[in-house]
Amino acid sequence: MSRHGLCLSKNTRVAPVYQEEMLEEEEEGGSQHEALQTGVIRKPLFEVAVIASEHLQKMAAGPFDRTSPVQPEGSTTKMHAAAVNGDKATLARLLTSNAKDIDTGDQFGRTPLMFCVLADRLDCAELLLKAGAHLDKKDKGGRSALHWAAHKGNFRCMKLLLSKNANWKEKDNEGQTALHLCTRHKSPKCLALLLKQVAPGEVDDQDKNKRTALHWSASYGNLEHIKMLIKQDANIGIPDVEGKTPLHWAASSRDAEAVSCVNLLLDMAGSVINWQDYEGRTALHLAVADGNYAVVDALISLEKCNVSALDNMFRTPLHWAAVLGHSKIVELLLSKKADYASSDSNGATPLHYAAQNNFADTVEVFLRHKGVTDEPDVERRTAFMWASGKGADDVIKVFIKYGADLQQVDKNGGTAMHAAALSGHVTTVNLLLEYKAPIDAEDLVKHTPLFRACEMGHTDVVQTLIDYGAKVEIYDQDGRSPLHWAALGGHAYICQTVIKYGIDPNIRDHSGRTPLQCAAYGGYVNCMSVLIENQADPNAQDNEGMTALHWACSKGHLDAVKLLLEFHAFPNHMEFTEDRYTPLDYALMGEHREVSQFMIEQGALSINGIQELAACKIQSNFRGYRVRKTFLERKKLLMKHEQLRKDAAKKRAEEEYRRKEDIRNKREVEERRKTELGEGHSKSSRRKREPQLSEEERILLLNKQNRQIVSKERDRLSEFRRKEHAARVIQRAWKHYVFRFKGVMKSAADAIKSKRLKAGEEEWKRQIAALTIQLAWRKFYRKKLLTSLTGKSKRVLHMWDPEVVAAKQRMLMEQIYTEHIEAVQWFPRLEAPVRPLWFKYMPSAAALSFNFAVDQYDPELLERSKTQMEFEDDLPFGLQEDFRNIHLSGNPQHFSYNMYEV
């Protein structure tokens, strides 16, 4: 049954401890015993006695200890054999010769007197008692001879023992007296004999399960016993350890006289008809659970019977009848105006449970009844959708017969076709398609039934939907195709199927991820092989720069890493984020040592290694660049110095030449003047002179040239200093980056820690909320109990305290007899058990069930449980197991359909 299924308690039908088993053994033992008496078995006396003894031991060993059999310590003597065979002469001779064995027990502690009682050997029992046999000696199960006489219904032996003053109040290890044991037989003779020995008020003696003789008589359906006990003022309203009254046990009995027992109890105390046990169940709940139509009819025939009583899980008897498929009882309850729309803690009506268990007759009874409608649960899912999710084809046909809407949706937008596809019921899908159910209906996240079938890997459903014309090239709100979801689930055959119908294996979602990356995230090697064979790119990067190799390394999937590298995946792709992580970084952060070793062997590098290599290369290139530039600059400087030296030498040579020319010209002029003066009248002739610069112009020209040289030298020195400064800035920046990297890693670790603490805080809040609900539940019942204890100090009480038990009895007696009577505290005062400090916080079964419902069906919790977390990749290896159900990327609007899982 699914998590929405109605889980009936294991104690719904609890017969007395060894009712059926002992009856079968009694019949088998009776046949062997007759054979022993008639002499059919021809064996020595002692061997026959041993066989009979072993059989009786087998009959009696079970009720006392079913889990830890008693290890044999004694042995069966000849006196035991004579007693069980009724050989009075041999027994008398043995008593004369060896009287010390008269109370010797066998391996189970049973004496010869017990053997006589078990075999109904009255003469031998009288002989043993006259010889001084111990009357109240007990075996290892705590039972005396009187217990066994009551258990076997041997009236004669029982009468003999009581005449010898046997103590009927002695209890065995189960806390049962002879009064409890004699209720298992239909004949009331033994009970009538015992009741003569019972004093007023002792008829309600309880065993360890707090059951009285009236409880046992009701459970066996013994009407005469019940009449005799009620005549002895037996209390009808005493609850046992499960909170059940004799009416509960009579209602759950399958005996033919169960109806008469129920009617008798109701005639004597009709107010107990609506009493609930500790799980909130009334007698009507238990009668419905056993499918006892006659008892149900007898109970609801009374006007004060509450046919819509709620148990601790808020389920009515109609819920129980629906979940077990008792269509006649359902019809009977509906005729008595039982609330068909009552919802339990899951928000489910009785029709939901009948539908999910494929009880078509029961569903038809509901739909045929006037006014019954298909009400939705807390997730807005109707019984029709539950039936689709469980593959209940017969129920679906009944719903369609009564006009069910095939397009109805739940609060997530899912239809019945979504539910059937998610659960993989291909016959249900075919049935819905035959009745024209929408095949491409989209839910709130734009998922069609094909998405659900691909995600869960239901190949037959996928093929059926495609054959009926379902769209294959369709995308959800995150841009994912059916191929993405098939790859996320690792379903290789479905990937091959959808690729065959036209989906590109390199298709990307809104995050840029391909189906190959989805398969690598889960390490599904077969799925990856199918995608790569269909030309999927192993080096494709998503919007953050992640490749399929990144995802495989982050999760430690060694086979997936080997497959990707075999198909030439580049091992050193870096992310587009600030961290620039490589696949090897993810393997190292996840502490996947085998993957890290394999990646290193294949030449993979971490981001630190790549940065160091890049830094070395940059430094090497920069040093070479500086050496070359310095050499060229110095070469140019030397050439300029050489040129300046040559220019200076040339200038000095020119000046010397001009000086010499001036001197020569002066000499020539003087000689010419002398010649002209000497010749007298000779005409002076002027020589043509070449144009020459003045001294000032020459000085100005030299100064200009010097200034140009100085300016060029200054420009050269300024460029050199600028380049030196740039080199120092680059080195300083690189040092700052290297030093800051440790700080960045520390910040990343702090961020990861804060995220982890936040996730733990949410889990802690959920647990605190669950504990608050449990404590509120316990406080409600404790307050209710304290209110009833008028005149007493309101201290902390427990269910086992004598005052609480006495208060319950007073309330029961007031309700039954409508008068205040001080109840006799017949119970023993138990010592306070040593309980640990944390025991007071232990929730009850009802609180656990309620808490389970709150945790499992909170819509926000369902969304959080399916939220996909990428943050896990940054966690240490030891904490990754605390994060479950993590998928490729976060999608807070992805709703779960787990209620339809088988």
Task: Catalogue the long-range contacts made by 161-165 (C-beta closer than 8 Å, 24 or more residues apart).
Answer: 161/117, 161/125, 161/135, 162/193, 162/194, 162/197, 164/129, 164/135, 165/135
Token pair for 247: 């009416």
Domain extents for the chain? Answer: 314-405, 408-471
Please check whether the two domains, 314-405 and 408-471, share a CATH topology: yes
Q: At what angle do helices 558-566 and 525-533 cross, to 10 degrees?
A: 20
**What confidence score (pLDDT) does residue 606 get?**
85
Neighbouring C-beta atoms of residue 324, cutoff 10 Å: 21
* Per-residue DSSP letter, 833: P
In CATH terms, 408-471 corresponds, of 3.40.50.300, 3.30.450.20, 1.25.40.20, 3.90.950.10, to 1.25.40.20
Token pair for 508: 């990307």
The three-class DSSP label of residue 200 is coil
**What confidence score (pLDDT) does residue 49 get?**
37
Residue 420 has φ and ψ, to the nearest 5°, of: -65, -40
**What confidence score (pLDDT) does residue 486 get?**
93
Total length of the chain: 902
**What confidence score (pLDDT) does residue 795 get?**
59
**What confidence score (pLDDT) does residue 871 get?**
41
**Dmax of the chain from CA atoms?**
207
**What confidence score (pLDDT) does residue 464 get?**
92
Answer whether 299's CB lies under 8 Å from 305's CB.
yes
Cα–Cα distance for residue pair 30/316, rounded to 1 Å: 45
Answer whether 56's CB lies under 8 Å from 84's CB.
yes
Cα–Cα distance for residue pair 149/136, rounded to 1 Å: 12
Homologous superfamily, domain 314-405: Ankyrin repeat-containing domain (1.25.40.20)
Cα–Cα distance for residue pair 772/622, rounded to 1 Å: 68
**What confidence score (pLDDT) does residue 97 get?**
84
**What confidence score (pLDDT) does residue 770 get?**
76
Task: Split the chain (902 residues) into runs of 10 and give each run's mean pLDDT.
Answer: 34 32 37 32 34 43 35 68 87 83 85 90 88 87 90 89 86 90 88 85 88 91 89 89 92 88 87 89 92 90 89 92 92 89 89 92 90 88 92 91 89 92 92 91 92 92 92 91 93 92 91 93 93 92 92 92 92 88 90 90 85 81 83 85 87 87 82 70 45 74 84 85 84 75 72 78 77 74 66 58 70 59 47 58 54 51 45 43 39 35 32
pTM over 0.75: no
Burial (CB count within 10 angstroms: exposed 0-12, middle 13-18, buried 19+), residue 248 = buried
